[in-house]
Amino acid sequence: MQRVADSLFTLGQGNKKEFTFTFIRPTSTDTSAGDPHPGQADNSEPTMMARMFGYWHMHYKANAVDFNQSFDGPDIFKMYRDLVKGFNVELQMLTTTDYVYAAVITEKTKFMNHIKSICPNGNYFNAIKADLHNIWVNAINACTTCGGIYEKESEAGVMALTAQNNAATSGIKIFKSPRNSINFTPLQ
């Protein structure tokens, strides 16, 4: 895992873009990672596949700005979006300069209901299903009751989407580890 975290981060820094790859299950007892997929300098999208169960991406360090932050609202909201679209998302990993983070969906139905409860009047479900990135981003940004959950480069959104990292309420749990010696503990 250490080598994967370091390789993905190095790949992104060298190309000045975020990168992501997808975890797939070739068989019921095995796991592999899809080819790294480049995104933009501040955004990456995993390659969605029928057998995927999660993805790993990195935060790009631009202009000496240190992206050591955890997931932001868009990172977690993408997991919800992918569940709405019918993918079997369970896990997302994130590599930053000094840390590796993991977001684990502990209960899919609870997670989806929690996201819907944050913004019950949001007109974004059809936009999510349409898979048109700008449409669903604009829809969630236009939601007046969502509390800034889609603000990029901010941990405020992820804390709202995870009920302050309370899996009993949100159905998702965030973990953090140093990159130099991977040992995950719950994000505080």
pLDDT band at residue 117 using 50, 70 and 90 as cut-offs: confident
pLDDT band at residue 163 using 50, 70 and 90 as cut-offs: confident
166: pLDDT strictly greater than 90? yes
Going by C-alpha positions, the residue among 126, 139, 105, 155 that lies closest to residue 113 is: 105
Could you tell me what percent of the chain has a pLDDT over 70? 60
> What is the domain extent for residue 130?
2-186
pLDDT number for residue 170: 94
pLDDT number for residue 106: 96
**Mean pLDDT to the nearest integer, 166-174:** 95
**Mean pLDDT to the nearest integer, 128-153:** 65
Looking at per-residue confidence, does 20 or 144 come out higher?
20
In 10 A of CB 20, how many CB atoms? Answer: 24
Structural domain total, the chain: 1
In 10 A of CB 74, how many CB atoms? Answer: 21
**Mean pLDDT to the nearest integer, 52-71:** 72
Sort residue 59 into left (φ over 0), alpha (ψ -120 to 50) or beta: beta
